[in-house]
Structure 1
Amino acid sequence: MVVIRLARGGAKKRPFYNIVATDSRSRRDGRFIERIGFYNPIASGQESPFRIAQDRLEYWTGVGAQVSPAVSRLLSTKTSS
C-alpha cells in the first residue's frame, strides 16, 4: 500500500520534513516513490513553512494512497488559513 507521509531530514535540533509518497513497508527516512512537498517547522521570515504539489497529492490519493495523520493535520491547517 502507498502512504503519503513525512520523511525527516535536516540537522540535529533543526528538523526539516519532506512529504513523500512511499510504500508503507519502507522505513520512515528510507526509499520513497516521489517527493511531493516539504514542511519546515522552524521557518522564519520570508521562508515558506509548508508547500505541497496539489496535483500530485490528488493523483496519489486518486490511485488509493492513504494520507498519514501528520500530513492530514498539515493539510487541514493549510486549508483553514
Structure 2
Amino acid sequence: MIRLARFGARKQPYYRVVVIEKDRSRNGRSVEVVGTYNPRTSPATVDLKRERIDYWTGKGAQLSDTVAKLLKTPAATPAA
C-alpha cells in the first residue's frame, strides 16, 4: 500500500509518502519512501517520485485515497 506516514512536531505535521505493508501501523517500518507532503507551506508542497510510484503500483500496491488525490494535483512535482 502507498500511504502517508506522519512526521514533524506536535501541531506541525509533515508527511512522507511511503510504500508499506497494509497491516502495519501508520508510522511502522516502510519498504520505501517515495515522496513528501508538507501542508503547512502556502501552497502545500508535494514532491513525489512518480516512476517509483508507477513501479510499485505495477507490482500491485494500492494507493490510499489521500495519495491518489495528491497524484492528481497539478502542484505535484517530481522529486529529483
TM score, norm. by length of structure 2? 0.87
List, as ranges, runs of 4+ consecutive aligned residues in structure 1 with deviation greater than 4 Å.
none
User: Which of the residues 52, 58, 66 maps onto 1:56?
Assistant: 52
- Pairing of 1:57-72 with structure 2 (within 5 A): 57-72=53-68
User: Which of the residues 12, 32, 42 maps onto 1:34?
Assistant: 32
Q: Does 1:12 align with 2:30?
A: no
* Distance in 2 of aligned mates of 1:17 and 1:39: 5
More helix by share: 1
- What is the Cα deviation at residue 43 of structure 1? 1.7
* Cα RMSD after superposing both structures: 1.9
For the residue of structure 2 that corresponds to 1:14, the secondary structure is: coil
TM score, norm. by length of structure 1? 0.86
Structure 2 residue runs without a partner (length 5+): none
For the residue of structure 2 that corresponds to 1:23, the secondary structure is: coil
Structure 1 vs Structure 2: percent identity of aligned residues?
43
Contact 2:45 2:75 in 1 (8 A): no
For the residue of structure 1 that corresponds to 2:70, the secondary structure is: helix
Q: Deviations over 1:23-80 (max 9, x none)?
A: 00100011100000000001248xx711010110010000100000010011112379
